[in-house]
Structure 1
Amino acid sequence: MSNQFVSFSKFVSEGSHYEIGTKLAHTLRNNPELMRINIQGDCMDSFLLKKKQILLDEFCPGVNEEIIGLSDSLKIPLGKLAVFADDVIEAGACSQFAALPSITSDGHTLIGRSYEFSTEDEMCLCVTRADGKPAHIGFSLLLFGRFDGINEHGLTVSMSSCEFGQRPFGEGLWFPFVLRSLLDNCSSVEDAIYLLKNMPIRSNVNLLIADTYGNATIAETASFGDDRKISFRNSEDFLVATNHYESNEMLPYDNNRRRHSVIRYNTIKDYFSKKKGSISVESIKTILEEKVPKGVCCPFYEDCLGTLHSMVFDTTEISVQVCFGAASPQKWEKISFNSPCENSKIQVPINNEFPQNPTTFWEHLNPGSMEQNRLHR
């Protein structure tokens, strides 16, 4: 995959939810790859479809109207849209971390986030201004869900998957719609925690949530039918999550911990421990730009661990910077909530590499604390 170029889309929309859906349909017409990802060959059973619509209406009001707008515009049955067949999509790997005001140089809350997967991905950044909802910026999954984002109130959310080798099952919301619900309905960490505790989550995922008031938490979730668990991690200085659980009460669900996840976790933790009091936006960018193990940028695209985008959120000033593809100093772009309603495409180079010691890098580790797993670095 050396010197390959991949295309990212930037989609800006406003108006009613139905209007946003019709504009998404226009985007799909002009993007065959996005059409391929989001339109299924088989039509979902009408009973299952209705159950999913009811769930979205309760926790993501307005999203069904967007879906109907797209369906009407494309003249494609609702049951053929991948948004309702969400269990067929593989989740990516990610690193995410929050530096709280006590350790940042300007007293702001700063969030760093990198998203890793293969180039078989949606790669669409959305600036969404839906009537009656706070505007938000984030990358989409299945068009209507979100991988990450910040809303105009400063509520910031991102995710890192723990689903490899242990897919969730049962009824409930998959993580893209959990994140979309938080962005559409919450303005604080307190709001988000309340909502999370009262929604049926069908995901094995770590959610990082922060707000403009200097609060942050990591919600670790596991969902196996009726066996659902959610645990919250808090800190006064920094928080880190990669692709395994860290809370002691979640260790029974931590059945697919990989060495590369522990390496990235420890790299971030060590960096913040040494830089307390001087963490800045540029500090956050540095760890996102450095390749693993010095940083968290990963070039392993053919192994589904390639960095597709990185983000730096400042929840205090309510801003976000984005880097498409592997993070580098020249490629950061500040994205505005007030971006003109113009869609665009961005071509970026992707250069694949392989780990120097693949057997060790991909090694499966036993559940345990970070201190125990330092022995395996």
Structure 2
Amino acid sequence: MDKITESYIGEVEAVKDEPNYVIVPMVMFAYESSKYVTEDEIAVYYEIVYHASARDVSMSHVNVELLYARLKWDASTPSRGKKRIIDSIVALKEKGYIVIESHGEEITAATYLTIRINKRVFKDRIVCGNTAYTGWTKIYESEMNTAKTDRYKIGQRLKVLTYIKWRHNINYSICFEEWANVLGASPRTAKRIIKSLKEEGVINVKSGEYYTDWNNNVRQEINQFSLPEEKEELDDDYKPTVTQRQRKMVSVAELLTKTTDKRMVDRPELFVYGDLSEEDMYIYLTTECSIVKEWGKKRFDAISKKPKGKEMVENWEMKAKKRIENEQQEPRRIQIEAVQKENPTTVSVDVTNYTEQDEDAHTKAYRMAQAKREEQERIKREEENERFRQEMLELEDEYEEAI
């Protein structure tokens, strides 16, 4: 097939340098409309267009046997795989993507098909949510081959690759709710799919920056996605791709055997690309292990590269240092309380500040009220920390587990 490109729908211009590609209409992703296609349908559409005539890129001459040879679905049960292809062809016709001229009333595996691409779908515009789906995206043969590395998920992978390329032109950011709609899956399943493709090195994921909202809650901006070919510069050197991990990192198990800080066994977060908290900062500030110090510095420096991440790290550091200070004062507090218990007639002591003072009724009432307020603030902080922990668990792909 001649290498071709379209400067405009219907106008064909021959070129020598550009590899083969298929233009995919983006209304296929309009999830709230009748134009939305399944994973099988987008894969079959690609193969139909791939076999387009060099003279007329809107026409393709294929049959189910040829498409099956390309897709290799259900190899153990070919009849099932061919039925999936037939069902997809029929669905693409019903949704207005293709027009079929078949030499027979019923499509079978051997039926010779002349299929024309409906050019109108490239000009359609459908709005779903806040996104307008229109135009098309070029999907090169190399990208389809990437999708085919898992023949059980060709359509799913093709959808992700196509959508990322399209969003590259308008906006890198894609939330998981949007991924769920595009993939026709639940948000949890969408997260699993994206995480798997990232770990495989098929896509790049740049995690959104952290920030504090008006209610002083820590939030994260939407993740950004790109394909490895785009060679997007990641801001955080410690959010590597699978290939980078293999070159730069040792296993968590090996690190745990080398560290002298036994706390890392129960809480290895500094060694893995997962969520961090003030507890990890506390370990970092109090450890005597050089390995923990080194990894802690890498992790916190990486997060601090952005202003909002720096703010979050400073907040952890403040809380951790306050905890260390309280622990350093604890022996003195115990000593004072012991003296008071043994000598109940001695001058009352404010064990909070460890200074001797005469305590009248008014002072005592104020101290008790102050203690109540502090307890309420402590409970509030614990509730905020728990909410923050739950939010951090939901921040998909901020960091991945190290290999």
TM-score, normalized by the shorter chain, greater than 0.5: no
Greater strand percent: which structure? 1
How high is the TM-score relative to the length of structure 2? 0.25
Q: Which has the larger radius of gyration?
A: 2
- Higher RCO (CA-CA < 8 Å; seq separation 6+): 1
